[in-house]
Structures are given as C-alpha cells and as structure tokens.
Amino acid sequence: MSKRDYYEVLGVSKDVSQQDLKKAYRRLAMKYHPDRNPDDEEALAKFKEAKEAYEVLADEQKRAAYDQFGHAGVNGQGGAGGFGGGGAGGFGDIFGDIFGDIFGGGGGGGRRGPARGADLRYTLELTLEQAVRGCEEKIRVPTWDSCGVCHGSGAKEGSQPVTCTTCGGAGQVRMQQGFFTVQQACPTCKGEGQIIKDPCGSCGGQGRVQNTKTLSVKIPAGVDTGDRIRLAGEGEAGMHGAPSGDLYVQVAVREHDIFQRDGTNIYCEVPVSFVDATLGGELDVPTLNGKVKLKVPAETQSGKMFRLRGKGVTSVRGGAPGDLLCKVVIETPVKLSSEQKDLLRQFQDSLENGGDRHNPRKSSWFEGVKRFFDTK
C-alpha cells in the first residue's frame, strides 16, 4: 500500500517552519498515543505514521531528499513506525518538551550541579512611628552558612570531590519506561555529577553548617504592613559551595494607641466636650510630628470629620504625603455633682421651651419614626 504524503499526514504545508512542524506532530502524537488509546489498532497506525513523517521532515537533509524524490528519496531512513531514537526530532525529543519538567530534564539537559540555597523570610514588627520615619533594626536569623573548614566544598581538607561513575559527571541518566526514554537526575550523585568520598568532618560533607547570624536592616521611611525588603545572598547557603539564597524581611506594623493607618492617610478620634462642641473652641490634636491646633466650629456634631492636609504619611514609593483625618467624638460628662445635674435639667427645660429649633435632627428622627408606624 502506498504511503501518504508526509506533509498531508501532519496536516502542514510544504513551507512549514520547524517550530510549527513540531507543534503539529506534538498535537497528533498526544492524540493518537497508545497510552491514550489502548487496544486501538487504527490509532496506533496513525501514531506510527505521524512519527515517521516527523522524523523525516524534522531532519533538513532528509526533508530536502523527500521534497525532491518523494518516499524513494528517504527509503529506509524513516522511523517506519518504530519507537526507538535515531534521527532528528525522535520520539524522546518531542515528548521531552512536554515531560521534561516532570521527570527531571528534557532533551539536551546537562548536569544540574549543586542546588542554590533556599530563600528565607523574616517577619519584622515595627511601631507606626518607625514605619513612617524609617529606621535601622538588627535581627537574628537562624540559617545555614558556608562551612568555614572546607569553604563550602564538603570535602575534607586536602581532598577533592570525584566524578560520579554512574553518570560520568553528567548529573543525569536516561531510563527506558515503556514508550518513553526518560532523562532524570542521577540517583548516585543526586544530579551534581560529583561524589564526596572523604567528607569534611565539620559539616559532614554538606558544605554548610547551621548558624545564627545578626544582620542590620535599613527600613526606608513609609513602609507598611506587607512590604518586603530583599537582602540578596543572606538566605541559606547552597550545598557544596552553591550560591546562597536571599532573605526577605516582611514588615508588620503594630497597632497604635491613637492612630490608624490607611495607605498614606492617618485616622484618629478626637474627644470633644459638650461645651466645646456647642460653643466652638480650639483643641490640641496630636500628629506623628507633634501637636497642631484644630478649630472646632460652634454646633459641631458627633462624627464630624476634619481633614488636616499633608499631616499623614509619605509612601515608601514616593508621592505627596497623605492627610490626617480627625473624627469628632462628643464626650458625655460623667460623675456629676447634684448641683451640676440640676443645672443640666434647667438647661434641658430651656431647650424644650424653645421648641424643635435647638434639636433639628432629634425632631426629624422622631417624625420619621412616627411615619414608619403610621404606615403599618
């Protein structure tokens, strides 16, 4: 039976690029793969046909011969439906792109080498004042440091690591798993390509030792909870002299007794006496940079918000400073004497004699309540 045109098999044109050719084959290989179509002879035949077509067209010399002479130009050179390697773009290569990350390496992957040290995170608690103004803090971090005896190599002084005989120093080995040729880390040297026969007595061959180090961290002004400061190379030391990881200092700002922060704005509640709220007055209001005067106009109601522009925080990312928002909370007098209580009753009587004009919100609220019950 005559063979189908290879371009037709893969569903591509004759001027197809190698990248698009690979995509077309990958799509068909995944669709007709025997593992996905058990006991399906038709799918197996299409899978073999697609593989043979791809092995020819992925090789520039074979492709040129095929374009000029057709199947006669590549007789005996195709994969003929087999599952072995051979030829450019073999079965293992195409699936290496898909499964390389899962099985520890794709086509062409070399020695992995010693692993970089792990990154660390340290949570640093700051007061609001420290976060707003910036500071310098010392922290103690438990970590792995490079061994001072073997200088990170892991080998005893005077000796050196030797090449792994299992992988020949490549750090990876190939294994046949059914239809797949899988490349994975060498089980003997764990992908490093070298073995330490005479380990350092101080670190046991790891090239690093546990330690606690003290670091000085500069906190820029304007940081907030959730901000991170990266200290490059201050994480855990890598194995056998590999680079160290990084240390990330995570900022957490403690709650403040007076202020609450929201971005660049600062909020606070200001207690105001009944008299000052009624007649008006001037109060000292705290800010993060000292006291300021706040003028409270007469007849100020509880909950009134005053904005002091530019008295907030300048973000660590720059820009204009935020505002200080002061919420008035009218304080009810407590622990009154009998005389003070009598004076308040007299005052209350005088308000009631004046009708609703002294308490407009109270009267409108009661009118609303009355209408609510009248409609029931």
d(CA 358, CA 184): 85
Structure-block tokens of residue 231:
């200290």
Instruction: Output the CA angle 59-63-69, nearest 5 degrees.
Output: 145
Closest CA to 239 of 322, 103, 145: 145
Q: Choose the CATH number for 6-103 among 1.10.287.110, 3.40.50.300, 3.40.50.720, 3.40.30.10.
A: 1.10.287.110
200 is in an annotated binding site: yes
Burial 56-81 (b: 16+ CB within 10 A, else e): bbbbeebbebbeeeeeeebeebbbee
d(CA 48, CA 325): 74
Closest CA to 29 of 47, 41, 11: 47
Q: Is the pTM of this model over 0.75?
A: no
d(CA 294, CA 299): 15
268 is in an annotated binding site: no
- Comparing 6-103 with 120-253, is the CATH topology the same? no
pLDDT of 90: 42
Structure-block tokens of residue 206:
């790891």
d(CA 46, CA 111): 36
Indicate the burial class of 53 (C-beta count within 10 angstroms; 0-12, 13-18, 19 or more): buried
d(CA 294, CA 363): 30
Q: Choose the CATH number for 262-331 among 2.60.260.20, 3.20.20.300, 3.20.20.210, 3.40.50.720.
A: 2.60.260.20
203 is in an annotated binding site: yes
326 is in an annotated binding site: no
**How large is the angle between the packed helices 91-103 and 18-32, nearest 10 degrees?**
80
pLDDT of 179: 60
167 is in an annotated binding site: yes
189 is in an annotated binding site: yes
pLDDT of 66: 83
pLDDT of 247: 92
Class of CATH domain 120-253? mainly beta
Instruction: Yes or no: say if 200 and 150 are a contact pair by the CB < 8 Å rule.
Output: yes
Please report which residue ranges of 234-307 form alpha helices under DSSP H: 274-279
What ranges do the domains of the chain cover?
6-103, 120-253, 262-331, 340-374
d(CA 72, CA 61): 14
pLDDT tens-place values along the chain, 376 residues long? 567 889 999 999 988 888 888 889 988 988 888 778 888 888 888 988 999 999 889 888 888 888 877 877 776 544 433 333 333 444 444 444 444 333 334 444 444 556 788 889 999 999 999 999 999 999 998 887 888 888 777 888 878 888 888 888 888 887 766 566 677 888 888 777 888 888 888 888 878 888 888 999 999 999 999 999 999 988 887 776 678 889 999 999 999 999 999 999 999 999 998 889 989 989 899 898 888 999 999 989 989 999 999 999 999 888 899 999 999 999 988 899 999 999 989 988 888 776 666 766 766 666 776 776 777 6
Place of tokens 């800010």: 287
Structure-block tokens of residue 199:
């380990």
